[in-house]
């Protein structure tokens, strides 16, 4: 049994100190745990599927760094590679051979990517892909989907639905100019009719559609393949660029892009998370004719001192090589299926009126007794967020850590075990039975 009984005294003290020197007390808002009753937890170290806080409490971790750690925390293959590379240089300011190594793996694994460029984050990757689309089409508008999160650049944070920002009034208080806001159109995920209507009215001005083919920032929402097909058709007919944001899903659900699994091919794709082996990374790539808009070939600028840095590149190569055979991902997907099946069986047996859905190596609870599945952000908002806030705290107290918001999926890794899954399911049933 994991020790979740110690109080979070050190976490509280360090959190107070952080608030004195870091604005708002965190470098990313989710770390403030505002959506849950769980007190702020300060991490100390992590290995495999276990994370330990500064008070010595250990947790089975289902955050996995919010997605990057598909091989678990500090996998030996990545750690040893980094130890070797750090002795030879962390950043050069000129090209290094490992940029080719990682780029070639991405290009070879994804059918529709001819060329790639690296950035330092998913935000930068998506921001630049949008810039490429505008340059290629010479149009201003971007179409995004309610509940989708694509980083914190101005145009994509417009109409934000992330819990930390969505309650802000739409004014200059958020630092986003009206001219940027007005160039961002909003539709509903999995709603073909609404998309077609927007294209009918604005198609001549739409540069790009940006969408997660499998939505991972409103819990986990599976797409209707016909919906993705409608996006492809609308973009083709209007001359717009279709961008799939696979910062989370890329190389996590299969070795490559989920678009290849789903059979709908975008023009540009963004990557991040898994491809950096646990280090900060982003990438965007696609057809050669679009990518030629970048750098000396075209007018779109993108650079960065740490873009393609050797530490990230060697970590990414090590991680992808470990995943390349596919058997680790396949085994993890089977574990997720087992988790979901056992959860459904236990929920039914104990009269817990909730559900669960999954894709690849991710899952999400459905905290609404009237729903069998979640199809868009409207459904997500109808969940019992107050119950989730209590559930999160009780699970953390018993040594199981989920992301502190209902809008993030449950992330599994290749090192989670069946025993940990059984414990998690049993605790979830025990706790939900006591609070609903």
Contact 356, 365 (CB under 8 A): yes
Q: What are the structural domains of the chain? A: 9-62+326-435 (3.90.1150.10), 76-323 (3.40.640.10)
Percent pLDDT > 70 in the chain is 95
Q: Answer yes or no: 245 catalytic.
A: yes
- pTM value is 0.95
User: Confidence class of residue 157 from pLDDT cuts 50, 70 and 90?
Assistant: confident
pLDDT digits (tens, 9 = 90+) for 21-52: 999 999 999 999 999 999 999 999 999 999 99
Q: Can you give the pLDDT at residue 3?
A: 44
Q: Can you give the pLDDT at residue 295?
A: 87
Q: Residue 48: name the closest of 419, 431, 430 by CA.
A: 419
DSSP 119-174: ESSHHHHHHHHHHHHHHHHT--EEEEETT----SSHHHHTT--STTTTTS-SSGGG
- Active-site residue identified among 191, 245, 267, 379: 245
Q: Is the per-residue pLDDT at 1 higher than 60?
A: no
Q: Which two tokens stand for residue 388?
A: 């989730």
What's the CA gap between 432 and 26, in Å, rounded?
30
Contact 106, 280 (CB under 8 A): no
User: Confidence class of residue 163 from pLDDT cuts 50, 70 and 90?
Assistant: low
Size of the chain in residues:
436
Q: Is the per-residue pLDDT at 6 higher than 70?
A: no
Mean pLDDT of the chain: 94
Q: Is the per-residue pLDDT at 162 higher than 80?
A: no
pLDDT digits (tens, 9 = 90+) for 80-130: 999 999 999 999 999 999 999 999 999 999 999 999 999 999 999 999 999
DSSP 293-349: TBGGGSSB----TTTT-HHHHHHHHHHHHHHTTSHHHHHHHHHHHHHHHHHHHHHHH
Contact 135, 177 (CB under 8 A): no
Give the mean model confidence (pLDDT) for residues 187-207: 98
Q: Can you give the pLDDT at residue 2?
A: 40
Q: Is the per-residue pLDDT at 172 higher than 60?
A: no
Cα 20–chain centre separation: 29
Q: Is the per-residue pLDDT at 178 higher than 90?
A: no
Give the mean model confidence (pLDDT) for residues 208-231: 96
Contact 148, 159 (CB under 8 A): no
Give the mean model confidence (pLDDT) for residues 191-205: 98
pLDDT digits (tens, 9 = 90+) for 419-430: 999 999 999 999
User: Confidence class of residue 274 from pLDDT cuts 50, 70 and 90?
Assistant: very high
Q: Is the per-residue pLDDT at 167 higher than 60?
A: no
Percent pLDDT > 90 in the chain is 90
Q: Is the per-residue pLDDT at 432 higher than 70?
A: yes
DSSP, collapsed to helix, strand or coil, labels residue 209 as strand
Contact 363, 357 (CB under 8 A): yes
DSSP, collapsed to helix, strand or coil, labels residue 90 as coil
Q: Can you give the pLDDT at residue 359?
A: 98
pLDDT digits (tens, 9 = 90+) for 249-273: 999 999 999 999 999 999 999 999 9
User: Confidence class of residue 176 from pLDDT cuts 50, 70 and 90?
Assistant: confident
Give the mean model confidence (pLDDT) for residues 397-416: 97
Q: Which two tokens stand for residue 275?
A: 């491809």
Q: Which two tokens stand for residue 116?
A: 């790639």
Q: Answer yes or no: 273 catalytic.
A: yes
Q: Can you give the pLDDT at residue 5?
A: 45
Q: Answer yes or no: 149 catalytic.
A: yes
- Active-site residue identified among 273, 284, 333, 359: 273
Q: Is the per-residue pLDDT at 165 higher than 80?
A: no
Alpha helices, DSSP H, located in 178-326: 178-181, 192-202, 225-238, 258-262, 288-291, 310-323
* CA quadruple 290, 291, 292, 298: dihedral, nearest 10: 90
Q: How many CB atoms lie within 10 A of CB 17?
A: 12
Q: Which two tokens stand for residue 241?
A: 């660029």
Q: Can you give the pLDDT at residue 59?
A: 98
Give the mean model confidence (pLDDT) for residues 293-312: 92
- Active-site residue identified among 149, 189, 359, 365: 149
Q: Is the per-residue pLDDT at 166 higher than 70?
A: no
Give the mean model confidence (pLDDT) for residues 383-396: 98
Q: Is the per-residue pLDDT at 160 higher than 50?
A: yes
């Amino acid at each position: 049994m994991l020790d979740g009984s110690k109080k979070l005294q050190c976490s509280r003290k360090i959190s107070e100190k952080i608030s004195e020197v870091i604005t708002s007390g965190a470098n990313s808002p989710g770390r403030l745990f505002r959506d849950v009753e769980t007190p702020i937890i300060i991490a100390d170290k992590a290995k495999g599927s276990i994370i330990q806080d500064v008070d010595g409490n250990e947790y089975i971790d289902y955050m996995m760094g919010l997605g990057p750690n598909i091989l678990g925390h500090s996998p030996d293959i990545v750690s040893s590679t980094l130890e070797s590379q750090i002795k030879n240089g962390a950043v050069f300011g000129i090209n290094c051979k490992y940029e080719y190594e990682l780029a070639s793996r991405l290009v070879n694994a994804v059918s529709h990517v001819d060329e790639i460029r690296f950035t330092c984050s998913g935000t930068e990757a998506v921001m630049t892909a949008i810039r490429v689309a505008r340059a290629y089409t010479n149009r201003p508008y971007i179409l995004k989907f309610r509940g989708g999160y694509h980083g914190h650049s101005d145009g994509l944070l417009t109409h934000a639905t992330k819990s930390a920002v969505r309650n802000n009034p739409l004014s200059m208080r958020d630092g986003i100019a009206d001219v940027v806001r007005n160039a961002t159109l909003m539709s509903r995920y999995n709603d073909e009719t609404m998309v077609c209507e927007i294209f009918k009215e604005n198609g001549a001005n739409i540069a790009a559609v940006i969408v997660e083919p499998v939505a991972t920032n409103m819990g986990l929402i599976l797409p209707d393949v016909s919906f993705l097909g409608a996006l492809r058709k609308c973009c083709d007919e209007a001359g717009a660029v279709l961008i799939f944001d696979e910062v989370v899903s890329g190389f996590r659900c299969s070795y490559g892009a989920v678009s290849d699994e789903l059979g709908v091919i975008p023009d540009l794709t963004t990557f991040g998370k898994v491809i950096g082996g646990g280090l900060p990374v982003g990438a965007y790539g696609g057809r050669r004719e679009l990518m030629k808009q970048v750098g000396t070939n075209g007018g779109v600028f993108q650079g960065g001192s740490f873009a393609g840095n050797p530490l990230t590149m060697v970590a990414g190569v090590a991680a992808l090589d470990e995943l390349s055979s596919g058997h680790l991902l396949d085994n993890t997907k089977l574990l997720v299926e087992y988790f979901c099946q056992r959860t459904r069986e236990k929920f039914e047996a104990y009269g817990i009126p909730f559900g669960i859905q999954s894709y690849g190596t991710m899952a999400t609870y459905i905290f609404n007794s009237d729903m069998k599945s979640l199809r868009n952000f409207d459904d997500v908002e109808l969940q019992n967020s107050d119950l989730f806030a209590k559930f999160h705290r009780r699970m953390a107290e018993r040594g199981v850590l989920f992301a502190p918001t209902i809008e993030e999926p449950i992330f599994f890794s290749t090192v989670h075990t069946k025993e940990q899954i059984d414990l998690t399911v049993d605790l979830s049933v025990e706790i939900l039975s006591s609070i609903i």
